[in-house]
Structure 1
Amino acid sequence: MQIQKVTDASFRAYGKVLEGYDFSRLLKEMEHTPLPSDDVIYVPSVEELEALPVAEELKNRAFGGLPIEIGYCNGNNKKLNALEYHRSSEINVAVSDAILLIGKQQDVEPDYTYDTSKVEAFLVPAGTAIEVYATTLHYAPCTVDDNEGFRVVVVLPKDTNTELTFPVGKEGEDRLITAKNKWLIAHEDAKIEGAFNGLKGENITL
């Protein structure tokens, strides 16, 4: 699979590179977060990250004043496994090099299946911040260097990806809701409990 760069024109359909933020303290604080060697850990909200001055700037400039959460996704991963989307953009700040496997929500079929041959891969270099648009299908990043793994900051509207506090339906798009503001389409090979297995084709491995 061709690995493109987030600075390429082809990324514009999925998101954009963010400029004009000082992420130096955020990147430094992320050095203290755990890094699994053979798994992926996602934490939606981390108090130490949300207390940094850049958090207020992200809240106001990137999310127009909406309450936000700042967490992380760290680990080692080589597979697609699933794709998710939100009703809002997501901001990722790469602490180390990482690869995103992404697609377009517009390519999801009426029955909520998706052909993985349409997935594209993009390198997010260490220190780079990107906005991933709400219509972009995405999931856990993939590892560039097996010996180093990846650390990626994840910024979203507050309570996104947290536990559901309401019942969800069993039909249509409702089947995809697995957490607050999270719609997930899984690959059957990933064996994600309770998920809708709508990814068709190869479970892409880098």
Structure 2
Amino acid sequence: MTIQSVFSPAFARYGQILEGYDLQSLLEALKATEKPMNGTVYVPSDPLLERTGVFSALQDGFYGGMPLQMGYCNGFNAKLNCLEYHRSSEVNIPADDVVLLLAPLQALENGVLSTAGVEAFLVPAGAAVELYATTLHYAPCDGRPDAGFRVAIALPKGTNTQKRDFAAKTAEDRRLWAQNKWLLAHPDSPEAGQGAYVGLCGDNITVSGLRRNTIC
């Protein structure tokens, strides 16, 4: 697998680059958020990020006035581990180069997805990227080996928070891991050990082993 550019035509099935937003204040605020030296931290909603102009612009325009949250995923990561999807687009704005591991939701067969169909895309620092609701994704990976990352993440308010207790009625209900978050875990992932639905087969992809043949 080769790491492709997020500006390449291959990315069009997964999302788009968002233009016209002033990201400077957001990127400055993002650099002040915590970044663990081991693993990653995810915070769904951060007041510092939500006071920036781009938050209001995304909420009023891009999300059509829907209540929005903006948080971050920071740290170090090199593995796929899981893929997730939402009923809405997600916006990622990285302060550092990151690699996103993506696959189409339509490739899911009988509740299982082969990791052979996963593609890797390098997103440069300072780009704003929409991931469509049909795009399987998860935590970003280091864009530069062992460099870590900080990424602002915008989603409809309440996404990735504690799900409500309910009686599962469909096969998809078994994948619901948090509010507006359906999760497919690799059997080798920590999430699988925590009881997440195991829906990935094949290699648990490691980004450090991929070919870097792209320029952003």
TM-score tier, shorter chain, comes to over 0.9
Q: CA deviation at 1:118?
A: 0.1
| Secondary structure at the counterpart of residue 34 of structure 1 | coil
Whether 1:150 and 2:149 are equivalent positions in the alignment is yes
Q: CA–CA distance in 2 between the matches of 1:42 and 1:203? A: 21
Whether 1:87 and 2:84 are equivalent positions in the alignment is no
Q: 8 Å contact 1:44–1:72 — kept in the other structure?
A: yes
| Secondary structure at the counterpart of residue 175 of structure 1 | helix
Q: Which moved more, 1:35-44 or 1:75-84?
A: 35-44
Q: CA–CA distance in 1 between the matches of 2:205 and 2:167? A: 29
Q: 8 Å contact 1:168–1:177 — kept in the other structure?
A: no
Matched AA of 1:81 = N
Question: After superposition, what is the alpha-carbon deviation per residue over 1:112-160, rounded to whole angstroms, capped at 9, x for unaligned?
Answer: 1000000000000000000000000000000123443011110000000
Q: Percent identity, aligned pairs only?
A: 50
Q: CA deviation at 1:191?
A: 3.0
1:6 is matched with 6
| Secondary structure at the counterpart of residue 188 of structure 2 | helix
The equivalences for 1:61-76 within 5 A come to: 61-76=61-76
The equivalences for 1:1-206 within 5 A come to: 1-109=1-109, 111-169=110-168, 171-192=170-191, 193-206=194-207
CA distance 1:144–1:168, shift in 2 (3 Å): farther
Q: CA–CA distance in 2 between the matches of 1:168 and 1:112? A: 19
Matched AA of 2:198 = N
Matched AA of 1:43 = V
| Secondary structure at the counterpart of residue 152 of structure 1 | strand
Query: How many corresponding residue pairs?
Result: 205
Q: CA deviation at 1:52?
A: 1.5
Structure 2 gaps of 5+ residues are: 208-216
Question: After superposition, what is the alpha-carbon deviation per residue over 1:28-61, rounded to whole angstroms, capped at 9, x for unaligned?
Answer: 0011111112201100000111111221100022
Q: Which moved more, 1:158-167 or 1:65-74?
A: 158-167
Q: CA–CA distance in 2 between the matches of 1:147 and 1:181? A: 31
Q: CA–CA distance in 2 between the matches of 1:40 and 1:112? A: 27
| Secondary structure at the counterpart of residue 12 of structure 1 | helix
Matched AA of 1:194 = G
Q: 8 Å contact 1:93–1:130 — kept in the other structure?
A: yes
CA distance 1:146–1:89, shift in 2 (3 Å): same
Q: CA–CA distance in 2 between the matches of 1:101 and 1:147? A: 17
Q: CA–CA distance in 1 between the matches of 2:175 and 2:103? A: 16
- CA-atom RMSD in angstroms: 1.1
Show structure 1 runs of 4+ deviating over 2 A.
Answer: 144-148
Matched AA of 1:183 = W
Q: CA–CA distance in 1 between the matches of 2:79 and 2:42? A: 16
Q: 8 Å contact 1:92–1:155 — kept in the other structure?
A: yes
